[in-house]
Structures are given as structure tokens and as C-alpha cells.
Structure 1
Amino acid sequence: MHTPNQRLLVVDALRGFALVTIMLLHNLEHFDVYHLPEGLPEWLVSLDKMIWEFLFFLFAGKSYAMFALLFGLTFFIQMRNQEARGSDFRPRFAWRLLLLLLFGMLNSAFYQGDILTIYAVFGLVLIPVAKLSDRTVLILATILFLQPWAFYQLIDAIRHPVENLGDPTSWGYFGKMWTYITEPSFWDTVVGNLTNGKKAVLWWSYESGRFFHIPALFMLGLWAGRKGLFENSAKNTAFWKRTLLITTLIFLPLWYLQKHMADFITDEGVKRYATVIETSWTNVAFMCIWVATFYLAFQNQKIQKWLKPFIPIGSMSLSNYVLQSILGATLYYGFGFGLYKITGATHSFLIAIVLSIVMYFICVWWLKRHKRGPLESIWHQLTWMGSKKG
């Protein structure tokens, strides 16, 4: 198996952890087919509710944020490696993003909630940002994290209250998904995912503030790479301990606000935009808690052995992300086994655990024979075609 350096081990493990937890949530959601089976015993309904709420509390909005952070970090690593060879990686990166867009469209054919296409577009922001100073990158990321557009909308909602606030635009598109996802036609599902589904996800990403959140996370990952924050050192251990303490202190009042916002905000427009801001901040704080905890746990040799199974999964993150979409659609959608009809959160959680274990053994088997995952190899070869490196 290809053995990366220590820095890449913790990064790959964290990426694998993010991917597995993303897959857990996707399974609970039946890959966007939100449906509660009827006729389940009360104890199972209660267990389903508990599992749903607990896993969404832990990972919703946090796992994807880790994934985005590591996207920016990976860009830095590639940029640094090419600079060491006297090359500017940015033109290749633009081409690489176009290839990622194509992978994302492939993934979107199976799962409309695909994030790769959005990464491919917003990843372009890293090209001009790459040569800015550390301070400027951090300032830009902070401004985007503050959700300036949502603040503008919030102020406008306070100044001009609306009595009958309409539903978010994305809801109309999500409401149409039942006409193709639950039906037995694979082709109708593909067409629906690539048309109506893409509109639904883009509108939802805009409405939830992710158009600002994602590029901010990319920049934060770039900044973290420059600072070498994932290197194994006493200095970094101290940094992540401080980060864990500070972000926990930030998260707790934000979480309290999340639970009680409806108690002191009655206007629906004000509440909608205040929720976008609060949720964005809360998720970033919790994401930092996860990253800090994972880094610190990985430094402990006894704990590290329990985290190492995430390494091969993270090493093949692109292949695994697309694979979980194909498997999920086949399991839950109408053209496949239609398990959305009979599986609640408990059963979907168990399915996700089994899929994660299977994914791990597939990755171990593959990486013993190849340097990269199958889609990673294609991405690498196409990225560097026409160059000596390719």
C-alpha cells in the first residue's frame, strides 16, 4: 500500500471520517427520499427519532464542512509541491476543477444532493486567493463566514416585515422529486436528478448560506495548510487544544440560541435569515471541535489505531463519494430496491455501518494493488496529461 507521510495520514483519516459520517446522514435521509415507514412499533419509532436527532446534531453541516476544509488544504499541498518544482499549479487546478465538475455530474445522475459540482465552481476562488498573504486570506474567510448577504437580508426583513412569507424556492423543486426518485424508471431518475434536482440543490445551497460558507472553508483550509497545522508537533498540539476550548465556548451559546430562537423572534422573515447566520456559525464552531478533537486523538497511539481504518477510505474519497451515491440510489430509490418504504433511521443507520465496513475492505484491497483509487487515477492522469508528470 502507498504510505504517505505522517501529515497526510491524519488528513486522510479525517477525510475518511468526514466521508463516512456524510454517508451516515445520506442513508438516514434515504438519499433525499424523506419518508417515515408506517406500522412500526412505538419503541422503534422512538429509537428512530433518537438516532436521527443525535446523528444530525453531531454531523449535519459539520461533516461537509470538514470535507470542504480539506479541499482547500489539498489545494495548498498540490500548490506547494508544484512550486517546489518551479511550476505554477493554478492553470492545472482550473482544468482539474473542470474534470471535477464532470465527476460531479456523473454523481448527480444518481444523487441530486451532490456537492462535487458546487466544489468545482467555488473552487475557482482559490486561484486568485492562492497568492494573497496569510492575513488577507484569513480576513476574506472571516468576512464570508459572517454571512454578509444573510445580514443584508436580515436587516431588510427587520425594516420591511412581510405578513405572508412564502416558502423557500428550493422547496418547490424538492417537492417534485417524488415524481422521479420513487418511480421504477432509472432513466427518469437520472433526468430528474440532472434537471430538477440540480436546481433544488443550488437553490437550497444559496438559501442556507453555503454560497459564502464553502469558499470560506476552502480559504480556511488553504490558510491551515500554510500554517502547517496538521503537522505532528507540540506547537500544533497546543494550537488544537486552544481551538477545542475556544470553539466549544463559542458553540455552546450558539447552540442555546438555536434551540430558543423561536422564543424571542416571532417574525418569520427575520427568523429565516437569522437562522441562516446562526446555523452557519454553529456548524463552523462544531466543525472546529471535530477537527481539533480528531487531530488530538490521532496523536495518541492507542486511539490512533481505532482511527486508522478511516485512512484508506479518505485516500479514495472521490471514488468512495461516487460509490456511496450509486449504492444509496440503488438501495433506496424506486428503480432499485425501494428501501425508503420500509427503513427508518435505525435500519438505515445499520445499512450505513455495513456499507462503511464494505467500503473499508474494498479500499484496503484496492490500495494494495494500486497507488490511487480508480477515479483518483483517472483524475490524476487527465489533470497531468500533456506534461512530464502525467
Structure 2
Amino acid sequence: MAALERYRSLDVLRGIAIAGTLGTNVWIFTSGSGLVGYLDAVGKGDGGWGLVERILQQCAQGKFLGLLTVMFGIGLAIQQRSASTRGEPWPGRYPIRAALLFVDGVLHFLLFTEFDVLMGYAVTGFVVAYVLVGGERAQRRWMICAAGVHVVMISAIAALLASASEGTQPSPLQPNPYADGSFWDLVLFRIDNAVVFRSETVLILPMSIALFLLGASLFRAGVLSASGRTLRRRMMVLGTAALPIDFALGLVGGDPGIIVSRYLTAPLVSLGILAFVAALYVRGDRDGFVTARLTEIGRMALSSYVLQNVVASVLCYGWGFGIAAKLDAPAQKVLGTVAVYLVTVSILSLFAHLWLRRHRRGPIEWLWNYSAGIGVATTGGPRRRQPGRSAILRRRVVAPASP
């Protein structure tokens, strides 16, 4: 029963992470100038609706990115344990999976989102898969070193932003491929600015390595099982303590505060979210309607992540319905963004529900596993089916006793 609860919590946590990342990214989609406009305007809203926008953005800023990254690390640890249980070497076929994930990320970046995380996760997963071959002490050293590098880098960037003089007002993006361009125009725009758009992926590589390894360590420590009660309590205390600091930095700290919030305090809040949800499932709480939908999204997390960005692109960009360019007034921007979020999540949830009624995996997960040859026998002929433990027990019961 404990294993069942553990994996149910994994699915719902993945679903929360996917829906939560959209809570950050949807503001990029509804910016009239896409990521360029979002970066120019983030944290600068004034007045009533401007404050509402900043609060809503801060609710998701970095927290679910951190949660998603930790969940990838937990997934990697589960794959390693499964390989060990089957008597297979590690990392085995995982480099193939990482390569496929990188290709998925490249296509996702070019076609739909310049803020894709899959390319970075592919590189991180490849590195961490080999780190996991070493002992826990070596993994701990890697995690501490990566976290240290990340803290130094983010602190230096925040200090530079704090010391920089007030810049000039950014000029509008002309021409604006997000509002006026075709689908192909946006593809070319992403190619032309690939170095800038991929800079965050490089910047957070140390953080990603640290959080992957942290996720693997937390899984081994039993954070998702009954034995991890003390660990979960400490994580919830840490997350609760970090939350007001995170909001203060994001709302009144200016650009340096937003950087520190997104990349330093938000991951601490995400640990509290993970522990809280895991505790609910260890306690035996049943799924309600919302958690059932989140579980379905989490069961096909990769497909859900891609689909939500496809749907939001169709709704917001000029080659689709062009909603973003029509959200001029602050009230329209906030209410319109909330509406886009709800519509996107509803479509995502409905698709996941209908798909999983007929299939065990999401479409991209199926293609991913099929392409990597996961579960395919490597010997020349078909595998002989071995009798299960229950069949052996039945034989023992039915067989006549010896005289």
C-alpha cells in the first residue's frame, strides 16, 4: 500500500508542477511582445491591477520550476532503482533517453517556446545519471559544489543589477513577430536570438544539477513514504519560512529581488510544496476532482508540458487567435491572462483524461520509450514467460504431499 501511495503522490506532484509552470509562462504568452516584452515589464506594474498582476506572478515565480526540477531528479532515482531491481547496468539506456529529450527540447524551442526547459533537463539528466553511479558521498559533494556555484552566480548578478544605474525605457519590438508575424516568422526570430533565449538554460545548469541530486537524495531518504515524516516536517518548515522572504524580494526588491526570488528562495518554497503534498498521500487522503485531474496531467507530464505551450501559443500569438495583442489595459491584461490560463488548463486536463482512458502513456512518452527501445528484449528471440510467484505457490498447494 505504501508503494501505491508513493506513486500516486508522484503523479499529482508532477501535475502540480506542470500546471504551476504555466502559471509563470502564461504571462509571457499574454505579453504583446512575448518573452522580450515580459522581461521588460516584469515587476514593474503600478496601481491596483498592476499590483494584482505582480502578486499573481509572484505566486508562481520560480516555485514550480524548482518543483519540476526536483521531480525530474526523483524520476531519475526511480529509474536507477528499477534498473538495479531488474539486474541491469546503470545508466544503461538512459543516455538515449536524454538525447531524445534534448531533441524534443530543440523542436519545442524552435516551434513554440523560447523559454523551453527540456534541453536543459536533458543535459542535466545526462550528467546526473553518471553522478548517480558514484556513492552518496560523491553525490553530496557534487550537489554542494553545484549549489555553491549557483548561489555565487546569482548573488553576483543581483549585485550587478543593484549597482547598475536606471536604464532607458525599452523601445517597442519592431517588427513584432509575436503579434504580427507568421508561425515561420517566429521560428526564424527564435533562431536569430537563440543565444539570448537559451542563456537562462546555461545560467541555471548548476541549480538544475543540485536540484536533480537533491530530488534523488530525498527519494532515497523516504520523503514520499511513511518513514520520511520528520524529513517532510523540516521541509515544510523551510518552505514556510522562505515564502514571506520570497514574496518580499519579488514585490519590493526590484530586478535584483526578482532574480534572487526566482533562483534562490523559490526552490526552497518548492520543497515545502513537495513535502506537504507527499504528507497528504502518505496519510491516505483520497483524490478529489481537482487532484484526480492533476494526477492525469502528471501521468503524461512531458506531453502535458508540450501541449500546454502549444495551446497557449495558438490562443495568444498573432498566427493564432492573437489574444495577447488585444490585452491593452491593465485590467484586460490580468483578467485576460487568468482566462487564458483557465482555458489552457481545461483543455490540457480534458485531453489527458480522454487519452488515458485508452492508453497507459501520453503520446510523447510512448514515442520516447518506443524510440529508446525501453522494455524491448535485446536477445535474438522472444523471452519465455516465467511463472509468477502466485503460480508457484498454487503448484505447491496443489501438489500431493510426500509420504
Deviations 1:284-335 (A, max 9, x none): 2111122122223344555742423210101111111111121111111111
For 1:291, the equivalent position in structure 2 comes to 274
**Residues in 2 aligned to 1:308 and 1:32: alpha-carbon distance in whole angstroms:** 31
**Residues in 1 aligned to 2:306 and 2:155: alpha-carbon distance in whole angstroms:** 36
SS in 1 for 2:200: helix
Instruction: State yes or no: 1:248 paired with 2:240.
Output: yes
Kept in 2: contact 1:75–1:222 (CA 8 A): yes
**Residues in 2 aligned to 1:186 and 1:60: alpha-carbon distance in whole angstroms:** 28
Letter in 2 for 1:284: P
Instruction: State yes or no: 1:377 paired with 2:363.
Output: no
Identity %: 22
Candidates 340, 344, 351, aligned match of 2:324: 340
Kept in 2: contact 1:63–1:287 (CA 8 A): yes
Letter in 2 for 1:346: L
Candidates 122, 130, 147, aligned match of 1:128: 130
For 1:199, the equivalent position in structure 2 comes to 195
**Residues in 2 aligned to 1:365 and 1:156: alpha-carbon distance in whole angstroms:** 49
Correspondence list, 1:1-390, <5 A? 5-30=4-29, 33-34=32-33, 48-108=49-109, 109-146=111-148, 147=150, 149-150=152-153, 153=156, 179-196=176-193, 198-206=194-202, 209-231=203-225, 233=226, 235-253=227-245, 256=248, 276=259, 279-299=262-282, 304-305=287-288, 306-343=290-327, 344-384=333-373, 387-388=376-377
**Residues in 2 aligned to 1:76 and 1:261: alpha-carbon distance in whole angstroms:** 37
Deviations 1:148-180 (A, max 9, x none): 54278479969xx9876989xxxx9x9869642
CA separation of 1:156/1:104 partners in 2, compared to 1, >3 Å: closer, same or farther? closer
SS in 1 for 2:93: helix
Letter in 2 for 1:129: V
CA separation of 1:66/1:51 partners in 2, compared to 1, >3 Å: closer, same or farther? same
Deviations 1:108-135 (A, max 9, x none): 1111111111111222221221122324
1:201 CA displacement: 2.5
1:89 CA displacement: 3.6
Using structure 2 for the length normalisation, give the TM-score: 0.78
**Residues in 1 aligned to 2:24 and 2:250: alpha-carbon distance in whole angstroms:** 20
Kept in 2: contact 1:298–1:304 (CA 8 A): no
**Residues in 2 aligned to 1:288 and 1:30: alpha-carbon distance in whole angstroms:** 27
For 2:42, the equivalent position in structure 1 comes to none
CA separation of 1:389/1:33 partners in 2, compared to 1, >3 Å: closer, same or farther? farther
Kept in 1: contact 2:73–2:212 (CA 8 A): yes
Deviations 1:180-209 (A, max 9, x none): 22223211112222442x322222344xx4
CA separation of 1:340/1:279 partners in 2, compared to 1, >3 Å: closer, same or farther? closer
Deviations 1:130-152 (A, max 9, x none): 12232432343233223254278
Letter in 2 for 1:314: G
Number of residue pairs matched by the alignment: 359
Letter in 1 for 2:228: N
1:283 CA displacement: 1.1
Alpha carbon RMSD of aligned pairs, Å?
3.5
Letter in 2 for 1:247: G
* Stretch deviating more after TM superposition (4-13 or 105-114): 4-13
**Residues in 1 aligned to 2:378 and 2:221: alpha-carbon distance in whole angstroms:** 27
Kept in 1: contact 2:72–2:212 (CA 8 A): yes
Q: Which has the larger radius of gyration?
A: 2
Using structure 1 for the length normalisation, give the TM-score: 0.80
1:16 CA displacement: 0.5
Letter in 2 for 1:150: M
CA separation of 1:82/1:303 partners in 2, compared to 1, >3 Å: closer, same or farther? closer
CA separation of 1:162/1:14 partners in 2, compared to 1, >3 Å: closer, same or farther? closer
Letter in 1 for 2:314: T
Letter in 1 for 2:297: I
1:34 CA displacement: 4.7
